Amino acid sequence: MPLVSPFRTSFATQTSRDLLLLRVVTDAAEGWGECVAMAAPLYSEEYVDGAADALRRFLVPALAAAGPVPATSVASVLAPFHGHRMAKAALEMGVLDAELRAEGRPLSRELGAVHDRVPCGVSVGIMDDVGALLDAVGGYLEEGYVRIKLKIEPGWDVEPVRAVRERFGDDVLLQVDANTAYTLADARHLARLDPFDLLLVEQPLPEDDLHGHADLARLITTPVCLDESITSARTAAAAIRLGACQVVNIKPGRVGGYLEARRIHDLCVAHGVPVWCGGMLETGLGRAANVALAALPGFTMPGDTSASGRYYARDITAPFVLDDGHLPVPTGPGLGVEPLAEELAAVTTATEWIAV
């Protein structure tokens, strides 16, 4: 699916999204899962062809061999296979969607949502120059987004933040995301962001450096948020215990599914740690599920649950459209949305059925 504009982070520039969808057909209903792995292992070790291989050779056969399995048991059935959280999340999502559709229950209710709409932030990629950045941020604010996130990297950090603050003022909710681009040796430089009253700095150091993040959190006043480092409720608990983060970004695909995402939410609520829902340039399928998750009570900060038009001129579902800076939580059974046949066919490059 082509993006409406290039999206540049510290690790890659994307102009299109190569997506893996999973359709789960049961005797009672069918459901959809979306795998958020990228085409190349740049955000994490997973990539879309590898996810397809893991699903085809290991995960789907294991689930089939276990017999009829409720969605709540999918993770335990797949636990013997190490890693592959994004592939596992897609499979669990599809099973959960089918199960909830058969029972007429919406995903939001299943997860414990308490809101019927969620506030939306937007992620702004690294630009060629500050002028282009200011134009982009201004456009998103005019559309109604309630929070701006700037992607940063060494050489593109303090000055872009300064320019946005000077142009749009201190009232704009503003945060930055480094995607692991720095090291602890950059602590003094990252401290130069402190005067700009940012909501947080997201994943400044490598994902395996919890101790480094804990040290950094003591050296800067901007709250540290973890993204790539949080792969389960267990790693979230360790990060909180170490003081490695004051905020957690929950991405269901990264942690193995929406049920594990809910466990992380519950853990963070118990420890008084605010959470928000991250995004992986999902289609309307993944976006619907993310919005349902973001309606839980602990999601007290606007997430990257942007409108469909932020990334895609044409989505494969009915588009999610911003309304006063918010998106509505779907109320239909399961995800509450499903693919539009013509739109899906237009972007489908291959289809494979796995009979079980």
* Domain span(s) for CATH 3.30.390.10 in the chain: 2-104+339-347
Let me know: does 178 contact 202? Beta carbons within 8 Å.
yes
Q: How many Å apart are CA 307 and CA 9, to the nearest integer?
A: 19
Q: Span 340-345, mean pLDDT?
A: 96
190 Cβ neighbours under 8 A, 6+ residues apart: 157, 182, 201, 204, 216, 220, 222
Q: How many Å apart are CA 348 and CA 65, to the nearest integer?
A: 29
**180 — pLDDT class (breaks 50, 70, 90):** very high
Asked whether residue 61 carries a pLDDT value surpassing 90, the answer given is yes
Query: 198: buried, middle or exposed (CB in 10 Å: 19+, 13-18, 0-12)?
Result: buried
Asked whether residue 166 carries a pLDDT value surpassing 90, the answer given is yes
Decide if domain 2-104+339-347 falls under CATH 3.40.50.620: no
Amino acid at 74: V
* Mean pLDDT score across all residues of the chain: 97
Asked whether residue 10 carries a pLDDT value surpassing 90, the answer given is no
Position 236 scores a pLDDT of 98
Q: How many Å apart are CA 93 and CA 187, to the nearest integer?
A: 39
Position 316 scores a pLDDT of 97
Q: Which residues are catalytic?
A: 151, 251
pLDDT one-digit tens code per residue, 265-312: 999 999 999 999 999 999 999 999 999 999 999 999 999 999 999 999
Asked whether residue 163 carries a pLDDT value surpassing 90, the answer given is yes
pLDDT one-digit tens code per residue, 38-47: 999 999 999 9
Position 85 scores a pLDDT of 98
Asked whether residue 168 carries a pLDDT value surpassing 90, the answer given is yes
Position 67 scores a pLDDT of 86
Position 335 scores a pLDDT of 98
Position 11 scores a pLDDT of 87
Q: Span 137-157, mean pLDDT?
A: 97
**338 — pLDDT class (breaks 50, 70, 90):** very high
Asked whether residue 84 carries a pLDDT value surpassing 90, the answer given is yes
Could you tell me which of 79, 108, 97 has the C-alpha nearest to residue 34?
97
Angle between the 258-270 and 71-78 helix axes, to the nearest 10 degrees?
A: 90
What residues does 21 pair with on adjacent strands? 34
Q: Span 224-248, mean pLDDT?
A: 98
Could you tell me which of 226, 260, 315 has the C-alpha nearest to residue 71?
260
CB neighbourhood size of 349 (10 A):
6
Q: Chain-centre distance of CA 88, in angstroms?
A: 15
Q: What is the pTM of this model?
A: 0.95
Q: How many Å apart are CA 151 and CA 146, to the nearest integer?
A: 17
Q: Span 239-264, mean pLDDT?
A: 98
**139 — pLDDT class (breaks 50, 70, 90):** very high
Asked whether residue 195 carries a pLDDT value surpassing 90, the answer given is yes
Residue 154 — φ and ψ, nearest 5°?
Answer: -55, 125
Asked whether residue 355 carries a pLDDT value surpassing 90, the answer given is no
With residue 292 as reference, give the H or E element that holds it.
Answer: helix 284-294
Q: Span 77-101, mean pLDDT?
A: 98
The pair of three-digit structure tokens given for residue 312, joined into one six-digit string: 């895609």
Position 161 scores a pLDDT of 98
Q: Span 21-46, mean pLDDT?
A: 95
The pair of three-digit structure tokens given for residue 53, joined into one six-digit string: 């291989």
With residue 290 as reference, give the H or E element that holds it.
Answer: helix 284-294
pLDDT one-digit tens code per residue, 302-316: 999 999 999 999 999
Fold of 110-328: TIM Barrel (3.20.20)
Q: Span 53-76, mean pLDDT?
A: 96
* Domain span(s) for CATH 3.20.20.120 in the chain: 110-328
Position 131 scores a pLDDT of 97
The pair of three-digit structure tokens given for residue 168, joined into one six-digit string: 């749009």
Position 121 scores a pLDDT of 97
Tell me what percent of the residues of the chain surpass a pLDDT of 70. Answer: 100
Pinpoint the alpha helices (H) of 178-277.
Answer: 187-190, 210-219, 233-242, 252-255, 258-270
**12 — pLDDT class (breaks 50, 70, 90):** confident
The pair of three-digit structure tokens given for residue 42, joined into one six-digit string: 């740049």
Position 110 scores a pLDDT of 97
